[in-house]
Structure 1
Amino acid sequence: MEVNMKKTILGLLSGLLAASMLLTSCGETAKTTGDTTKNPAMTQAAAADKTAGSKGEKVLKIGSSYIYASNDPHKDWNGWELVKLGVGETLFTLDANYKLVGNLVESYMNVDPQTWVIQLKSGLKFSNGNPVTAKKVVASLQRTIELNPEAAALKGTEFQVEENEFSMKTPEPNATALNALADPHFIICDVTDTSEIATKPICTGPYMIDKFEPEKTMELVPNKNYWNGTPKLSRIVNKAVGKSTTLGLAVESGDVDLAQVDTDTADRLSSNPDFTVTRTPSSRVYMIYANPTKLPDPKVREGLFRAINREEIAKDLLKGGIETIYSPFAPNLPFALKENESVGFDAAKSKALADETKAGGNKVALKFYERLNIPKIATQLQAQFTKAGWSVEAIQHENSKYLNKGDFDLGMYGMVTLRIGDPYDYLSSVFGTNGTANFNKYSNTEVDALLKQMKSEFDATKRDEMARKILKLALADNLHYYIGNVKIDLAYKKNVKNLDISPFEYRIVTVNTDIE
């Protein structure tokens, strides 16, 4: 029988038609950023435009804060960018309510708690014209599992191929096995010959890579073998422009047609009749990791966190640019924590803890990186800490690699928490002892035991309750703090049509995207 891996998420997510995040992937630590001081935005834009196409062509120019150094779809977060730009596709996808739906899949059956049988749609082709077969799909999935740590959820999975369908058997019951296949890390590619996969991977999307200059530009042309319609654009040029403020200037000047911008730029462009600006919540969070080796006293961590005024940041500083949260998920979701269930703003308590621990005068390093509103939030946080009697220095970095290195006292980060439509993926990566995003080496045996139970539990209500238990246990240690859900501000010219607006940030260009 066909299975629904997770009940439809109601409430807030039913309205989360968020603008797709053009500029980052789920985890920003893996990216390589271009040197914007050596590559000024307008110079890059002008250079890319020289090859953008001749008169009469429909050329969509996208501005990004970076271009990856490689296009290998199965390494790092490259698959996310390729899916966003319409180069690649996954077997499954998520609808606006985070419900799992088939994409390249015609049907699927859950044979037992460990086994699924998946039948592919007929007539699928890769961009090189080769047919998409079950054998090639399995080879692509296996390459992701082999090369990408983010594919750990399916490690040890056994595959069997029969004509146009295949079966997958997980080593143990795995309630989100199919959801994992919606993650762009599992983008489907022809890996028969991987000699050019780092520059021009062969995928199934409506567009294919024509030119690629690492960390600078990527140019796409229509995939004439696309299985689901005829692409409307003649060419897509994705170029590294730089900071969010520079991206806004690039949109205004016409150097790019489309970009994600910061809150101030979005507010300014929203009154310009030549542009469309969308602002909608996503499941990306602004959060803080606390390093227990640098801040070992739990009272110090609690005192710092109680100095943070979420509402002031969301309403006064960002003027509604984020939604306040109290855990990794929007508070009206069944697996999220409410306002009174995690540490909250209490200036008096924060000051008292600073006095009690005598740590108020010890300088704490709050590290952050240039990414949309993160610098503004970091500056406000420093002021809030100071007001409560703590000495905190906000230090800006080019990217968030300080987290990977463990080189932080407090470290800011932005991360998508519902990338496969289920909380388990995020909870295991951040709070699991061996999680891929466990940057502060958090370890709790009770949390690990609950994560193991949750992985194999198929009942939605029980999974929700397990998620809440995990969050209560983990957040009680004051090693993670959640500020708000990001609202994606996307600005584009009025004549750009048919973008795929989605809450999980890895789709935007489709076969129907057009310039009128």
Structure 2
Amino acid sequence: MKKSKFLSSLGVVTAAALTLVACGKSESSNNESAKTASKFPVETKSKAVKQGGTVKVAEEVDTPFTGVFNEELQMSTPDAEVSSPGQESLFDTDDHFKINDKGPATLKLDRKAKTATITIKKGVKWSDGKQVTAKDVEFAYEIIANKATNSQRYSSQFNIINGMEEYHDGKAKTISGIEMPDGEDGRVVVLHCKELKPGMYYSGNGYIWENAAPYHYLKNIPFSKLESSDEIRKRPLYFGPYKVQKIVRGQSVTWVPNKYYWRGKPKLDKVIYQVVSPNSASQSIKSGKFDIARVINSQWKEVKGTKDVTFVAQIPLAYRYIGFKVGKWDAKKSKNVMNPNSKMHDKSLRQAMAYAMNTDAVYKHYTDGLSFQIPTLIPAPFGDYFDKDNKGYTYNLKKANQILDKAGYKKKGKWRTTPEGKPLTINFMAMSGQAINEPIVQNFIQQWHKVGLNVKLLGGRLTEFNSFYDKVHHDDPKVDVFMAGWGLSSEPSQEQMFSEGTMSNYTRFVTPENTKLIKEMDSQKAFDHKYRVDKFHEWQKYMTDEAYVVPTYNEYQIDAVNSKLTNYSLKPSKMNNGHQLWYNVGFAK
């Protein structure tokens, strides 16, 4: 399962909030919900499936989805979700995310020859009936690497493929390391690499792109116009189980069976994704308007007794975080550049803000105990890569004050000044969405005020999803601190998130130590599991101390599924691209 790195539209706490936490629901009631969720199955019961029927899916977002129907250019969670009935990755995995031979293509790695060979199966066809070819695989790399597309998917990780960097820099017209031994219309692609990496056996490794793009359909569109083209916005082609029938821009997508689908005919007549406000989600579930809807955890009490619904749950590979802007992206050099004079450059200031946050209490209160604070940037589902001894930043106002005092942030009246004695105002940006976002954000601002930091909400309000995105990506100079979230790759390499050469390193921090540790966790020595685990633990310790990015929480992800539906599963082996593999889903006989 390839899970992309997405800014999340989900949950980013007023004076009222603190009072509520103090005198509100007890810990036992909070824990009760978490216990309940932990007992939910990860999939619906498997039953005999009948052909036909329409499934309506709620896409819970308070803003229109962007509508980029192309994996190489897509960067938002809503776009990926509404694309899922058609968007299929090249590889299937087992339940531990290891790539197997059951998917549309197979992968063979040769460490000695430093090659990765992708072979597409015969009969894997685009929804217009054309076979997926070697050129379609190469074309996907070109879309990502060509600067004219402005793809945010490009990262220095891809430079492991020979000739990728030269193509990205405009010094070569083709990517020399991508070989098509049977020609462009063949089904074999050989990637010639500088070296192979330990994560390459797993989906989401960030070195091998796991998708193809229809060259025959898109080849005449200039790279600079690709993202805005009708072929991507209105009439996309996919080789997954369903094809697009109708798109109502930003609001809904209707999918019908792809008659050329390589696994056979999918079960449903239609899959319809429809945008619904997160604040209306509970009503949508109770009324049965949708067959599948994500439970907004703050609304759990309202929906938990709903009849004719199966609740399916997991703890996703994801987390929310706050990020401190300390630099910008240099497009010409394709790298992040730190600014030593940035407002948030002082580690003491970042650490103090992290200690002042009452993260655990606030999120548990507002989500009925279904959220929980996480200590490090490697979540527990990653097993021994997660450093269970790292406690992260737990709420400690006294410590926050001590750190600021020691670093010279003196109080001048109500607010602290910089160590140089200048006024300090910190602009904080957070996303709109759920009703709880506003009180949660106001709570954190109040916490920072308690330690004398003049933190203000950017523009005096929460920022709409697409605008938030834009400001983070383009390093809006007015943003000092922001609150966002990730869906994570199923392979824990940190290169594609926090390296010098990835646009996804949104805080823009770059240090020699970070670069060294990230390289070491993906080095040849890291084929030794213990060595790699040690490097991951070392990196977590370093990142906790530096506090450029501070993780806040993860949560139970609960889906309310029509009890008549079968084969809906959140197991990695039954998903694709990090989303439901819709081929399996249908109504029970």
Q: Name the Cα RMSD after superposition.
A: 3.3
| CA offset digits 1:413-447 (Å, max 9, x no partner) | 11023x1x2221xx224432233222222111121
- The equivalent of 1:159 in structure 2 is 178
What's the secondary structure of 1:166's corresponding residue? strand
Tell me, yes or no, if structure 1 residue 408 matches structure 2 residue 479. yes
**Alignment counterpart, residue 342 of structure 1, candidates 364, 372, 392:** 392
- The equivalent of 2:427 in structure 1 is 365
- How far residue 326 of structure 1 moved from its aligned partner, in angstroms, is 1.1
- The equivalent of 2:152 in structure 1 is 149
- How far residue 390 of structure 1 moved from its aligned partner, in angstroms, is 4.3
- For residues 481 and 474 of structure 1, what CA distance do their matches in structure 2 show? 8
- For residues 83 and 456 of structure 1, what CA distance do their matches in structure 2 show? 36
Q: Give the 3 Å change call, closer, same or farther, for CA 340–176 of structure 1 in structure 2.
A: closer
- For residues 123 and 300 of structure 1, what CA distance do their matches in structure 2 show? 57
Q: Give the 3 Å change call, closer, same or farther, for CA 204–198 of structure 1 in structure 2.
A: same
**Alignment counterpart, residue 275 of structure 1, candidates 297, 309, 321:** 309
- For residues 239 and 460 of structure 1, what CA distance do their matches in structure 2 show? 44
- For residues 379 and 241 of structure 1, what CA distance do their matches in structure 2 show? 25
Tell me, yes or no, if structure 1 residue 309 matches structure 2 residue 358. yes
- For residues 98 and 166 of structure 1, what CA distance do their matches in structure 2 show? 22
What's the secondary structure of 2:550's corresponding residue? strand
- For residues 536 and 255 of structure 2, what CA distance do their matches in structure 1 show? 41
What TM-score does the superposition give when structure 2 sets the normalisation length?
Answer: 0.71
Equivalent residues of 1:144, 1:186 under 8 A apart: no
Q: Give the 3 Å change call, closer, same or farther, for CA 259–113 of structure 1 in structure 2.
A: farther
- The equivalent of 2:119 in structure 1 is 119
**Alignment counterpart, residue 495 of structure 1, candidates 564, 567, 575:** 564
What's the secondary structure of 1:264's corresponding residue? helix
Q: Give the 3 Å change call, closer, same or farther, for CA 250–272 of structure 1 in structure 2.
A: closer
1:189-228 equivalence runs, <5 A: 189-194=213-218, 196-228=231-263
What TM-score does the superposition give when structure 1 sets the normalisation length?
Answer: 0.80
- The equivalent of 1:34 in structure 2 is none
Tell me, yes or no, if structure 1 residue 128 matches structure 2 residue 162. no
- The equivalent of 2:57 in structure 1 is 62
Bigger radius of gyration among the two: 2
Equivalent residues of 1:113, 1:174 under 8 A apart: no
- Letter of the 1:61 counterpart: K
Equivalent residues of 2:86, 2:238 under 8 A apart: yes
Q: Give the 3 Å change call, closer, same or farther, for CA 319–388 of structure 1 in structure 2.
A: farther
- Letter of the 1:306 counterpart: Y
- For residues 91 and 205 of structure 2, what CA distance do their matches in structure 1 show? 5
- The equivalent of 2:75 in structure 1 is 77
- For residues 355 and 456 of structure 1, what CA distance do their matches in structure 2 show? 41
1:86-485 equivalence runs, <5 A: 86-102=85-101, 103-106=103-106, 108-112=108-112, 114-146=114-146, 147=149, 148-152=151-155, 153-155=157-159, 156=164, 158-163=177-182, 164-177=187-200, 179=202, 186-194=210-218, 196-242=231-277, 244-292=278-326, 293-331=342-380, 333-338=383-388, 340=390, 342-356=392-406, 357-358=409-410, 361-362=415-416, 363-372=425-434, 374-375=437-438, 377-388=440-451, 390-394=453-457, 395-399=461-465, 400-401=468-469, 402-404=471-473, 405-406=475-476, 407-417=478-488, 419=489, 421-424=490-493, 427-457=494-524, 458-485=527-554
Equivalent residues of 1:173, 1:455 under 8 A apart: no
Would you say how many aligned residue pairs link Structure 1 and Structure 2? 466
- The equivalent of 1:512 in structure 2 is 584
- How far residue 222 of structure 1 moved from its aligned partner, in angstroms, is 0.4
| Greater CA drift, 464-473 or 279-288 | 464-473
What's the secondary structure of 2:110's corresponding residue? strand
- How far residue 207 of structure 1 moved from its aligned partner, in angstroms, is 0.2
What's the secondary structure of 1:299's corresponding residue? helix
Give ranges in structure 2 of 5+ residues lacking alignment: 11-50, 165-174, 222-230, 327-341, 417-424
- How far residue 454 of structure 1 moved from its aligned partner, in angstroms, is 3.0
| Greater CA drift, 206-215 or 77-86 | 77-86
- How far residue 145 of structure 1 moved from its aligned partner, in angstroms, is 4.0
Q: Give the 3 Å change call, closer, same or farther, for CA 199–500 of structure 1 in structure 2.
A: farther
| CA offset digits 1:4-44 (Å, max 9, x no partner) | xxxxxxxxxxxxx9xx99xxx7323899xxxxxxxxxxxxx
Give ranges in structure 1 of 5+ residues lacking alignment: 1-16, 32-55
Equivalent residues of 2:65, 2:251 under 8 A apart: yes
- For residues 199 and 441 of structure 1, what CA distance do their matches in structure 2 show? 34
- Letter of the 1:63 counterpart: A
What's the secondary structure of 1:369's corresponding residue? coil
- For residues 348 and 113 of structure 1, what CA distance do their matches in structure 2 show? 57
- For residues 255 and 91 of structure 2, what CA distance do their matches in structure 1 show? 23
- For residues 53 and 273 of structure 2, what CA distance do their matches in structure 1 show? 14
- How far residue 68 of structure 1 moved from its aligned partner, in angstroms, is 2.4
What's the secondary structure of 1:150's corresponding residue? coil
Equivalent residues of 1:326, 1:342 under 8 A apart: yes
- For residues 209 and 499 of structure 1, what CA distance do their matches in structure 2 show? 21
What's the secondary structure of 2:317's corresponding residue? strand
Q: Give the 3 Å change call, closer, same or farther, for CA 174–129 of structure 1 in structure 2.
A: same
Percent identity (aligned): 18
- How far residue 260 of structure 1 moved from its aligned partner, in angstroms, is 2.1
- How far residue 213 of structure 1 moved from its aligned partner, in angstroms, is 2.6
- For residues 67 and 243 of structure 2, what CA distance do their matches in structure 1 show? 17
Equivalent residues of 2:154, 2:503 under 8 A apart: no
| CA offset digits 1:281-317 (Å, max 9, x no partner) | 1121110012342234332222211112343134333
- For residues 234 and 444 of structure 1, what CA distance do their matches in structure 2 show? 53
Structure with bigger RCO (C-alpha 8 Å, 6+ apart):
2
Q: Give the 3 Å change call, closer, same or farther, for CA 508–165 of structure 1 in structure 2.
A: same
1:20-35 equivalence runs, <5 A: 26-28=5-7
- How far residue 411 of structure 1 moved from its aligned partner, in angstroms, is 0.8
| Greater CA drift, 321-330 or 179-188 | 179-188
- For residues 106 and 498 of structure 2, what CA distance do their matches in structure 1 show? 35
What's the secondary structure of 1:364's corresponding residue? strand
- For residues 93 and 454 of structure 2, what CA distance do their matches in structure 1 show? 44
- Letter of the 2:445 counterpart: Q
Q: Give the 3 Å change call, closer, same or farther, for CA 113–386 of structure 1 in structure 2.
A: farther
